[in-house]
């Protein structure tokens, strides 16, 4: 039975491909140069300005801090404003350098790391029902559209930046790239396997599906908050 | 999906009488277009950018079999399971079989036009599986059992009262409200529970990257991310035309898709999947199954003109600018695809016989072509469909002979000035005598049929050329 089914699938594959192959192929003229955005390439300050401007257009609050110490103060301010009791955090390189557990003890905020768990039902429950915020670092940020790039692996779980009502992203200045194309070599062509999932995040979850009225937090976070680390 | 394309004229007439639809359509397509233009202005030369996107799509379609093989090879190397389906039935059966084997009782879906096209929801429901559309607009359309009004906003026209009532009945809305935000929040809560315990996530595919074997999903809500982040099994369905050559091509098309669609620089979320979760990952699917669906596309692929229909990236810009869509909305098109791209695709997928009204309901103004980032010549294709229809109809010997004779006479009459003047003189006096109340009478069935919807004012005694001669002499 299994073999028969397998055979049928293979038949479909070959049938489709053979039909496509048997057509006269069109000779495509070589493509011209990929057109660029207005006024690239941005360097240094320009890149930062554009990144922050794009975030402002998306109504994403930004905390500009110098280093991890500044990031912790920003977190304290956000935690107080939103009244956090329990949060989840990634264990990616940016976050793991942050003494988040100690900070949590100090502020009476419970910090849970899905990356250190078995990813079981209990972990799911924290992510879906209990956490008020998810804190993650980013692997890259893109100036051209104010986009955060997360490469998911065990230290950067997919759901930390997705299920809680707020997502706080720590963005080191050194992670900032100008345009999308700069990602290609960084994601796909170093040694080894690309991550199972790469996510671009640009603003909070939203929809305008009911009468074009904007609603933030449709399925993902209602708030996206960026902490920009200038000296890192 | 069961098509209702035969009811085009009837449905269009009904929508023209629908005050609400009219009011809505007088606003929103225009708003999308304004945003689109502003977003495209971020390119140093927007037209050049559109042209480049078109050249990517052209190449993708021209190299389709090679790219599909390359994609399959690379996606498999990343650990994805790639399956192929010739038609809707085979695709649906594959999904049903896999759901059965895994003991699935319900599934949550991201918005996918392909699954509308192949009727996946109906197929799963017939097998007793519950299906939850999770894109807000699609969720509303599913509850109301309505076809999509717009490719991007399937229920964007539905009045608040209707959403309130259906949510009270079926989506756990506790208190009646007409606040769109509260309605959206009710849907969030209802669907969140489905996501929490999800075992099978089903999504479409915006692009498949041949070079890397990855699939790309573009969304604003986060429902696709949830479907792909929570469930142990992910099934993503793509039609054969979704493949693009390289990662950089995908990134460029991403810019164009979002700008042309909602006028965003990029949507809130874009995800790139390369295989299932890796060992040690705490979330993501254990298995990623990609189903490549043909459903009639390879039938028309050999025709170098028809093949252009496969360039479409489903941005919806052609709907927003179309003067016909702008009057009748998405329902009359009667199938998954509406607006100009529906007029192009539905006949190819369903056959020309039952979609005649679709490819005739166009004035060939070319607005759609002017905004298309994939470089599709919609009016050219519609004229081609009409030509094919005439060729199909005119096969009898007498008809071919009669038409030949008519055109021979016309060519004879038009090729010399004297003959033309003489012909006009004779015809004018013959027709002129027969005009009563702005309509010619007794000219024979053929001409009267043609003139039935056209006014013919009384003809002046002399032609312009004759009067010109008089004036010049004076």
User: Considering only CA atoms, which of A224, A162, A69 is closest in space to residue B284?
Assistant: A162
Q: How many other C-beta atoms lie within 10 A of the C-beta of residue A83?
A: 8
pLDDT band at A57, cuts 50/70/90?
Answer: very high
- A229: tokens are 């680390």
Per DSSP, chain A holds a count of helices (H) and strands (E) of: 7, 12
Least confident range from A27-36, A53-62, B323-332: namely: A27-36
- Checking if the pLDDT of B88 tops 70, the result is yes
CA distance A167 to A127: 12
Q: How many other C-beta atoms lie within 10 A of the C-beta of residue B304?
A: 12
Which pLDDT tens digit goes with each residue over B91-147? 999 999 999 999 999 999 999 999 999 999 999 999 999 999 999 999 999 999 988
Instruction: Report the run of H or E that residue B317 belongs to, with start and end.
Output: helix B317-321
Which pLDDT tens digit goes with each residue over B234-276? 999 999 999 999 999 999 999 999 999 999 999 999 999 999 9
A159–B230: do the CB atoms touch at under 8 Å?
A: yes
Confidence (pLDDT) at A8: 66
Which pLDDT tens digit goes with each residue over B185-211? 999 999 999 999 999 999 999 999 999
Confidence (pLDDT) at A39: 73
Rounded percentage of chain B residues whose pLDDT exceeds 90: 77
Mean pLDDT of B391-407: 77
Q: What is the dihedral of CA A20, A22, A23, A25, to 10 degrees?
A: 90
User: Helix or strand or coil: residue A110?
Assistant: strand
Residue of chain A nearest B31, judged by CA positions: A212
CA distance B116 to B142: 11
Which pLDDT tens digit goes with each residue over A107-129? 999 999 998 887 788 999 999 99
Q: Is the complex ipTM more than 0.85?
A: yes
User: Considering only CA atoms, which of B320, B322, B325, B328 is closest in space to residue B29?
Assistant: B320
Confidence (pLDDT) at A1: 37
pLDDT band at A9, cuts 50/70/90?
Answer: low
Determine contact: B232 vs chain A, CB below 8 A. no
CA distance A100 to B425: 95
User: Helix or strand or coil: residue B272?
Assistant: strand
Instruction: Say what the pTM is.
Output: 0.90
Convert B65-98 to b/e letters by CB count within 10 Å (16 or more is b): bbbbbbbbebbeebbbebbbbbebebbbbbbbeb
- B438: tokens are 């702005």
Instruction: Report the run of H or E that residue B153 belongs to, with start and end.
Output: none
Q: Chain A residues with CB inside 8 Å of B42's CB?
A: 37-38
- Phi/psi for B347 (5° steps) reads -60, -35
Higher-scoring residue by pLDDT: A49, B402: A49
Rounded percentage of chain A residues whose pLDDT exceeds 70: 92
A183–B251: do the CB atoms touch at under 8 Å?
A: yes
- Checking if the pLDDT of A4 tops 60, the result is no
Confidence (pLDDT) at B472: 77
Confidence (pLDDT) at B474: 65
Interface of B with A in 135-174 (CB under 8 A): 135-137, 140, 153-156, 158-160, 163
Q: How many other C-beta atoms lie within 10 A of the C-beta of residue A46?
A: 14
User: Helix or strand or coil: residue A147?
Assistant: strand
Which pLDDT tens digit goes with each residue over B8-31? 999 999 999 998 888 889 988 999
Q: A223, A210 in Cβ contact below 8 A?
A: no
Interface of B with A in 75-104 (CB under 8 A): 78, 83-86, 90, 94, 97
Rounded percentage of chain A residues whose pLDDT exceeds 90: 76
Q: How many other C-beta atoms lie within 10 A of the C-beta of residue B354?
A: 17
- On average, the pLDDT of chain B sits at 92
């Amino acid at each position: 039975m299994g073999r028969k089914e397998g055979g049928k699938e293979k038949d479909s594959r070959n049938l489709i491909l053979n039909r496509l192959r048997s057509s006269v192929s069109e000779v495509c003229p070589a493509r011209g140069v990929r057109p660029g955005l207005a006024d690239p390439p941005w360097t240094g300050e320009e890149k930062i300005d554009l990144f922050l401007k794009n975030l402002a257009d998306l109504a994403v609050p930004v905390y500009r801090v110098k280093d991890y110490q500044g990031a912790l103060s920003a977190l304290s301010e956000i935690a107080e404003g939103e009244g956090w009791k329990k949060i989840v955090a990634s264990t990616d390189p940016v976050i793991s350098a942050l003494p988040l557990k100690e900070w949590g003890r100090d502020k009476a905020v419970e910090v849970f790391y899905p990356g250190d768990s078995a990813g079981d039902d209990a972990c799911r429950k924290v992510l879906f029902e209990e956490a008020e915020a998810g804190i993650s670092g980013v692997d890259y940020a893109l100036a051209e559209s104010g986009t955060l790039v997360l490469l998911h692996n065990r230290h950067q779980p997919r759901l930390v930046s997705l299920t809680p009502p707020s997502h706080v992203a720590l963005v080191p200045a050194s992670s900032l790239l100008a345009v999308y194309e700069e990602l290609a070599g960084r994601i796909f062509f170093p040694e080894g396997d690309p991550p199972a999932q790469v996510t671009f995040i640009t603003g909070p979850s939203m929809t305008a599906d009911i009468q074009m009225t904007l609603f933030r937090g449709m399925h993902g976070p209602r708030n996206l908050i960026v902490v920009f680390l200038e000296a890192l | 999906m069961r098509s209702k394309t035969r009811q085009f004229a009837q449905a269009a007439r009904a929508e023209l009488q629908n005050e609400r639809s009219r009011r809505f359509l007088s606003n929103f397509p225009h708003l999308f277009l304004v945003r689109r233009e502003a977003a495209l202005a971020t390119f140093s030369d927007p037209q050049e950018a559109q042209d480049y996107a078109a050249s990517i799509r052209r190449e993708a379609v021209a190299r389709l079999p090679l790219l599909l093989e390359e994609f399959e090879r690379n996606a498999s190397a990343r650990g994805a399971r790639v399956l192929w389906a010739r038609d809707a039935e085979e695709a649906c059966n594959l999904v049903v079989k896999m759901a059965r084997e895994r003991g699935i009782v319900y599934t949550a879906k991201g918005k996918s036009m392909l699954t509308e096209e192949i009727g996946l929801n109906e197929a799963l429901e017939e097998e007793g599986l519950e299906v939850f559309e999770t894109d807000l607009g699609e969720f509303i359309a599913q509850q109301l059992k309505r076809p999509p009004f717009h490719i991007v906003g399937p229920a964007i026209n539905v009045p608040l009262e209707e959403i309130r009532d259906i949510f009270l009945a079926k989506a756990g809305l506790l208190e009646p409200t007409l606040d769109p935000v509260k309605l959206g929040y009710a849907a969030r809560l209802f669907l969140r529970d489905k996501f929490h315990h999800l075992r099978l996530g089903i999504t479409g595919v915006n692009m498949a990257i041949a070079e890397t074997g990855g699939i790309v999903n573009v969304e604003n809500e986060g429902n696709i991310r949830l479907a792909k982040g929570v469930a142990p099994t992910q099934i993503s369905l793509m039609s054969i035309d979704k493949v693009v050559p390289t990662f950089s091509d995908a990134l460029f098309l991403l810019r164009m898709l979002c700008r042309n669609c909602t006028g965003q620089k990029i949507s809130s979320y874009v995800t790139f999947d390369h295989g299932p979760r890796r060992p040690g990952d705490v979330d993501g699917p254990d298995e990623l199954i990609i189903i490549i669906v043909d459903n009639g596309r390879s039938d028309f692929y050999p025709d170098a003109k028809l093949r252009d229909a496969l360039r479409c990236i489903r941005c919806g810009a052609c709907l927003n600018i179309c003067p016909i869509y702008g009057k009748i909305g998405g329902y009359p098109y009667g199938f998954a695809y509406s607006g100009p791209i529906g007029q192009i695709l539905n006949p190819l997928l369903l056959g020309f016989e039952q979609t005649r009204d679709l490819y005739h309901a166009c004035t060939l103004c070319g607005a759609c072509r002017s905004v298309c980032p994939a470089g599709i010549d919609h009016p050219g294709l519609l004229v081609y469909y009409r030509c094919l229809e005439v060729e199909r109809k005119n096969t009898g010997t007498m008809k071919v002979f009669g038409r030949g004779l008519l055109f021979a006479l016309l060519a004879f009459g038009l090729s010399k000035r004297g003959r033309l003047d003489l012909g006009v003189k004779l015809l004018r006096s013959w027709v002129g005598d027969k005009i009563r109340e702005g309509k010619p009478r007794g000219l024979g069935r053929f001409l009267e049929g043609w003139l039935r919807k056209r006014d013919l004012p009384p003809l002046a005694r002399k032609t312009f050329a004759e009067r010109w001669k008089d004036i010049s002499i004076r």
